[in-house]
Amino acid sequence: MNHLFKSIVAAGALAIASTSAFADQVKIRFADLGANTNNLYQYLGIEKGIYARHGLDLDIVTFLKGGPVVIAAAASQQVDLGSLGTPILTGISRGIPIKVMGAPAMKGQEFVLLGRNDIASIADLKGKVVSVSSVGGGQAQALRKILRANGVKDNEVKVIAYGSAPNGYLSLTSGQVAGVVLSEPNISRIVVEGQGRILAEAADYYGRYQHSYVFASKKFIAEKPDAIRTFFEADREALRYAKAHLDELSAYGAAKLNLDPKILAKVFERNLDKWDDSLAVDPEGLLNAVKIVQEVGDISKSYQPKLDEITDLRFLKP
């Protein structure tokens, strides 16, 4: 009986300790556009307890309607950190109280313009409908950049927003649109299934350019700077774990994204060597991104970017 009593007391003490440890975790409301093949490592890292071991409760808040919605959420303090493309720079240029803190695993331009099988060239899109995730987001910027470089005027193509990534896939495969701008895994999915063709990769038009960033609200920076530093340490560990356990990542991703393993393998073949675990910002690529977004009209040409006003990189260890 005495032994049983001691066991109960010990179990109770362990439960109290576990509850206390959870209570001590710092919650981070982290914005993204939904689980995809490039941020799978974060979801797997949460499942493996990597962020929790660093004292973080990483709560991923998904915004399916594109970058402008994320920026609005950041402006209203609904999120603390997040990962997003150039709409972050647009928001900063317009006074949204956020700063670039680092980068996700994939920081380059990853958008691809695909067409139906009957669309042989970009010129064939004239007079037709093309879909992007949101009309004010990075995909719309990439589309304008590609069209203009190929002599197609903005008003010669009708652009509609598809919202979530699955809707983008369906917009092309259902015949609703002639072209669509997508990221992985839907690029590889369409190609492997033979439902469309790649017309242009945006990266070929951008030069030295960083598209994606990790941002934090200025309020969170001021109130919980240590949590930001810890986030990058945990995020790097999660990324390295995923790269070192590709079979586990692939199995997890196939289930998480309801994706054919053959398609996931194609995605990793295209992108895995581009995953950068430094999580570092390329200052030249960032400033070039501002210029490009100015060219397509989403940032005023009168805006004079200053790196120290856009970024706060003191929390990211080499």
Report DSSP state, residue 4: H
Beta-sheet strands, E only, within the chain = 26-32, 56-62, 81-84, 98-102, 112-115, 129-132, 158-161, 179-182, 197-201, 213-217
Q: Which of 115-129, 192-206, 236-250, 258-272 has the lowest mean pLDDT?
A: 258-272
How far is the C-alpha of 205 from the C-alpha of 145, rounded, in Å?
7
Domain end point (choices 181, 205, 229)? 205
* Residue 70 shares a structural domain with residue 141: no
Residue 304 lies in a domain: yes
Same domain, 218 and 252: yes
Phi, psi angles (nearest 5°) of residue 302: -80, -10
Is residue 317 a part of any domain in this protein? no
Q: What pLDDT is stored for residue 164 in this prediction?
A: 80
127: left (phi over 0), alpha (psi -120 to 50) or beta: left
Please give the tally of structural domains in the chain: 2
Give me the pLDDT at residue 298, please: 86
Pairing of strands 98-102, 129-132: unpaired
By residue range, what is the domain housing residue 20? Answer: 2-108+209-310
Residue 89 in any domain: the answer is yes
Percent of the chain with pLDDT over 70: 93
CATH number of 169's domain = 3.40.190.10
**What's the predicted TM-score (pTM) here?**
0.78
The whole-angstrom separation of Cα 92 and Cα 84 is 13
Residues 245-261: tens digit of each pLDDT? 999 999 999 999 998 88
Is the predicted pLDDT of residue 29 greater than 60, yes or no? yes
